[in-house]
Amino acid sequence: MKKIDKTKAELIRELEDTKKLVQELNSCQVEFEKAREKYEKLLDSSPDAMLFINTQNEIVLVNAQFEKIFGYSQEEILGKKLDILLQDKFRKKHSNMVRKYFENPNMRPMGSHLGIYAKKKDGFEFPADISLSPLQTDEELLVMADVRDISKRREAELQIELNYYIQKVTNSMLKISLETMSLADQFDRILDLILNVPHLSLQSKGAIFLKDPKAEVLILKAQHGFTGADSLPCSEIPLGHCLCGKAAVMSKLVYAEDMGGIHEIHDADIFPHGHYCVPIVSGKNLYGLLNVYIMEGHKRSNREEDFLTSVASTLATIIDRDKAEKEKKNLQRQLAHAEKLAALGRFTANIAHEIRNPLTSVGGFARRLDKTIPADTKEKGYAKIIIAETTRLEKILKNILSFSRETVLNITENDLDEIIERVLLMNEFLFKEKSISVKKSIEDLPRFPFDSDMIIEVLENVFLNAVDAMPDGGDLTVTMEKKDGPDMPMVNVKIKDTGGGISQEQLEMIFEPFYTTKATEKGTGLGLSITKKIMESLGGTVKIESEVGKGSVVILSLPFSG
């Protein structure tokens, strides 16, 4: 055995030294644990996800925030490749980037704007900003990655940018509305603007429809992005049918993420798509619809809906302005026409006064001569012709003077039923002579104020026109009833004939002075002009509905204040 040469005192001293070393080691261990705990707390208190990667691209340490953001526990993630946190399409490229980084490690702060997306355990991807810091330990070189979820920041940035583009598009639309161009050209340019706004998930396809004022149908007015095989499937959409027609009827934005069973009009083999159907409304008036195509499966977006709704409102403003401009031009034309008519009236009145006296003399002398000329002579026939033509000219002068003179009203309480009966009785012999059957359906109404002489003149003109329209006889139907008007009740007198009717082209000019559908010797073209002038002076209206081959209906409307 080896002899131990140490004395007891030496052994005691060594034991004391060993105890001191053990105490120091324990103290160091405690300090180490405190430092590690403090470091881990610091890591876990970070608002960002933090992870450490070794040169083999393996995750060796993560903090608590990492577990919250990515959804992995430490047991699940430690030792895994960093690629697990990346989009599949970037994994190979990223591995090469990590290798090059370890060859030349350096600090990379956040805000590099690399457009990085990280992937959570559930597969959800989010935009991230990442800083990198190399860390040399005793064993190996590590890289600390600080990962920050910037979804909210990116959303805010996109919203700010989108708001900029939306404001820019809105300003451009308002500018377009002030330019001198057709409504269709304005729509084309607006579609081009809105379908090219960045950050909106819209296909570059869209259309604008306007409601047909004469039918319950939407008519295509502008389209964008449709060519060849992807041609626009709908040029007319009945209101209440298909997605667009239903959105228009409801006056409410309608969304569809795919075709599904929504289409009723066109073939289901059309290109896959979804829709935003946005009604164009001003107050309670439906003007049309903005139809924008989106990618199939696209999720509904409030941001997009707000933008498209504002576009539709701007379109409504543009349409209102266009209507106002057209009404203004129409009023200007009417004013110019009224001034011409006034000048014509003054001129014709002067001419009529100049002709009236000598014409009266000619007519008077012709009638005297007619009484002295023997019957069955040429001279007797000549006198008859002179008398007939003089009578016709006197009637023309009477109409001209009636049209050109200032209307002076004598409003009194009258029975309209009685007035109609009187005028019918005055023309009873004429109706029988022309084989015209008269039918009446007149509502019993109390007396109310109007100018009876003026109404008699109006009824005379209308009845005589009806007689001329039925040279071979027919039916004349007179009805009277009270109707509610927008401001006050109205009395409608309808006079219907079974004559040949009036074409649409003639109807548009029927109230023009000196315009007539009759032969020249039968009319002056002033009867309906005088009728319109009288009815308007009484606060009423005159309207004619007609169909060639089926006859005409004249509707006289008087305000009823009885």
| Range(s) of the domain holding residue 116 | 46-149
Of 319, 351, 370, which marks where a domain is finished? 319
Whether 330 maps to a domain, the answer reads no
Distances (CA, A) of 18 to 25, 29, 162: 10, 16, 73
- Residue identified by tokens 């209308």 is 462
**Residue 186 near residue 264 (C-beta atoms within 8 A):** no
pLDDT at 268: 45
Residues 145 and 160 in one domain: no
> Taking Cα atoms as reference points, which of 114, 99, 44, 52 lies closest to residue 79?
52
Q: Does 555 lie in the same domain as 512?
A: yes
Same domain for 141 and 173?
Answer: no
| Domain-ending residue, one of 149, 164, 187 | 149
Residue 278 CA to residue 243 CA, distance in Å, equals 10
Question: Torsion-angle region of residue 308: left (phi > 0), alpha (psi -120 to 50) or beta?
Answer: alpha
- Tell me if the pTM is above 0.85: no
Count of domains forming the chain: 3
CATH assignment of the domain containing 202: 3.30.450.40
If asked whether residues 179 and 145 sit together in one domain, one would say: no
**DSSP code of residue 229:** G
458: amino acid identity, one letter:
V
Domain boundary among 130, 149, 168: 149
Q: In angstroms, what CA-CA distances link 214 with 259, 283, 535?
A: 30, 20, 26
The confidence score (pLDDT) of residue 1 equals 47
270 in any annotated domain: yes
88 and 196, same domain (yes or no): no
**Rounded Cα distance, 59 and 53, in Å:** 5
pLDDT in tens, the chain (562 residues): 455 566 777 777 777 777 787 777 777 766 656 655 655 555 666 778 888 889 888 888 888 888 888 889 888 888 888 888 887 777 778 888 888 888 888 888 876 656 788 888 888 888 888 888 898 877 888 888 888 888 888 878 777 877 787 788 888 888 887 888 888 888 888 888 888 877 666 667 888 899 988 888 888 888 888 776 556 667 888 888 877 888 888 888 888 776 665 565 555 456 677 778 889 998 888 898 898 887 777 777 787 888 888 888 888 888 888 888 888 888 888 777 777 766 766 666 666 666 767 777 777 777 888 788 888 888 878 888 888 777 777 766 666 666 656 666 788 888 989 989 988 988 899 889 999 999 988 888 888 888 888 888 889 888 888 898 898 899 999 998 888 877 788 889 999 999 888 888 877 777 776 656 665 455 555 667 778 888 888 888 889 898 888 889 999 999 887 6
pLDDT at position 62 is: 84
Are residues 126 and 175 located together in one domain of the fold?
no
Same domain, 178 and 223: yes
Q: Is 21 inside a domain boundary? A: no
- Are 104 and 180 part of one and the same domain? no
pLDDT at 478: 92
Question: Do 161 and 115 have their domain in common?
Answer: no
Residue 394 within any structural domain of the chain: no
Sign of torsion, CA 369 374 378 380? positive
Nearest to 91 by CA among 54, 65, 119: 119
Any idea what the CATH number is for the domain that residue 510 is in? Answer: 3.30.565.10
Do you know the residue count of the chain?
562
Q: Which amino acid is at 80?
A: K
Query: Is 131 in the same domain as 166?
Result: no
Same domain, 459 and 549: yes
Here the CATH number for the domain that contains residue 110 is 3.30.450.20
Domain assignment present for 459: yes
Q: Please check whether residue 174 lies inside any domain of the structure.
A: yes
Residue 401, in any domain of the structure: no
Q: Which two tokens stand for residue 48?
A: 């960002």
The answer to whether residues 312 and 286 belong to one domain is yes
The answer to whether residue 456 is domain-embedded is yes
